[in-house]
């Protein structure tokens, strides 16, 4: 296990380093003068050069990268060029709504997908499983932002049950928090549940053909009893992979939903940063998203080591 942790940790660090270089280089390749954008097209050259010097934009690219990298290591991500806010403080406050959005979606989606997938697998030869398959297909076909707009029109505008936009921290008003999270989480749950239901269904169908299921049924257990008693745990293992990857995609892909519902999360901060040509804000946010994905992959490797100890004993083949 120590070897697995060390190997996965080194992979994470090396990937993060190369990712930081790639993010920095790609954003610099987009071009554009931040100082000129802030001052306007009518700014005199002397003022532009002075602002470039003040912001450190006239330094060599490798010096800017090393300073930014040192800031990442110490938690000092710099200051927004246009609005002057501390980037680290903004990310720290904005990550909370995004985390609640992602965690809330997964808490609902994983058990629901496992339940629906198991039901469809047990009744795979019956008509009732078609309803689960059709529902999963519809969930995959409907974009989250479109589902969000429909939910707003029905439950916020027409029925008035939930607020259409906004975010209420749970420390201020717990009921208001759940009401503000209900529609965006539901919009995300539809697609994530559809994806994981298909994985759960396929995994359960495969598990139900194993010898221990056949043996359980020969001892008098029903198909449903054998599946729930002996197959559910093994069938849920692939959902670990899918669930962790889906959680990462939620953290990164919450941009659209956060803008539909005006939630002040990391995705909304990224959109405003792009709109304002805040290069330093965008590159820091993109790197944080990259680091989240790499960390989730690291966790996935460790979880696999616990779930399947054979991984630790497999020799590396050249």
Position 318 scores a pLDDT of 38
Say what the pLDDT of residue 64 is. 77
For residues 266 and 102, the answer to whether their CB atoms sit within 8 Å is no
Pick the CATH number of 95-275 from 3.40.50.1100, 1.10.3720.10, 3.40.50.620, 3.20.20.70: 1.10.3720.10
Q: How many CA atoms lie within 13 A of 38 on its CB side?
A: 19
- Chain-centre distance of CA 250, in angstroms? 3
Task: State both tokens at 60.
Answer: 């060599």
User: What pLDDT does residue 45 have?
Assistant: 63
Task: Give pLDDT, residue 209.
Answer: 64
**Token pair for residue 112?**
């629901």
Q: Coil, strand, or helix at residue 27?
A: helix
The whole-number mean pLDDT for each consecutive block of 10 residues of the chain, a chain of 318 residues, reads: 76 86 78 57 63 66 81 78 78 87 88 84 75 80 84 88 86 88 90 84 73 64 62 67 78 80 85 77 84 83 66 48
**Every domain of the chain and the residues it spans:** 2-74, 95-275
What per-residue confidence (pLDDT) applies to 72? 80
Query: Crossing angle, helix 61-74 and helix 279-307, to 10 degrees?
Result: 50
What's 126's DSSP letter? S
pLDDT at 66: 85
Q: How far apart are CA 103 and CA 166, in angstroms?
A: 18
- Determine contact, residues 79/85, Cβ cutoff 8 Å: yes
Supply the pTM of this predicted model. 0.75
CA 42 to chain centre: 42
Find out whether 269 and 281 touch, Cβ atoms under 8 Å.
yes
CB 113 within 8 A of CB 196: yes
């Amino acid at each position: 296990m120590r070897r697995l942790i060390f190997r996965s940790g080194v992979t994470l660090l090396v990937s993060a380093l190369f990712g930081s270089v790639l993010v920095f280089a790609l954003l610099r390749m987009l071009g554009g003068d931040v100082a000129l954008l802030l001052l306007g097209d009518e700014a005199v050259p002397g003022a532009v050069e002075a602002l470039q010097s003040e912001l450190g934009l006239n330094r060599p690219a490798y010096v800017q990268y090393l300073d930014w990298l040192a800031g990442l290591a110490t938690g000092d991500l710099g200051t927004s060029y246009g609005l002057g806010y501390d980037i680290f403080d903004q990310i720290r406050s904005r990550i909370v709504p995004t985390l609640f959005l992602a965690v809330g979606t997964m808490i609902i989606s994983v058990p629901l997908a496992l339940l629906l997938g198991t039901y469809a697998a047990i009744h795979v030869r019956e008509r009732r499983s078609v309803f689960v398959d059709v529902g999963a297909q519809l969930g995959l076909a409907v974009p989250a932002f479109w589902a969000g707009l429909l939910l707003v029109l029905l439950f916020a505008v027409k029925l008035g049950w939930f607020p259409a936009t906004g975010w209420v921290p749970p420390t201020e008003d717990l009921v208001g928090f759940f009401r503000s999270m209900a529609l965006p989480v539901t919009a995300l749950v539809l697609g994530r549940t559809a994806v994981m239901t298909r994985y759960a269904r396929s995994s359960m169908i495969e598990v139900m053909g194993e010898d221990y299921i056949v043996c359980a049924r020969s001892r008098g257990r029903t198909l449903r009893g054998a599946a729930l008693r002996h197959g559910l745990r093994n069938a849920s293992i692939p959902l670990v992979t899918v669930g962790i990857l889906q959680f990462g995609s939620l953290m990164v892909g919450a941009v659209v939903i956060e803008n539909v519902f005006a939630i002040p999360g990391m995705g909304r901060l990224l959109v405003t940063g792009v709109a304002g040509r805040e290069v330093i804000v965008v590159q820091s946010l993109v790197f944080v998203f990259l680091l989240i994905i790499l960390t989730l992959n690291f966790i996935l490797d460790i979880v696999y080591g616990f779930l399947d100890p054979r991984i630790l004993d497999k020799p590396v083949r050249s």
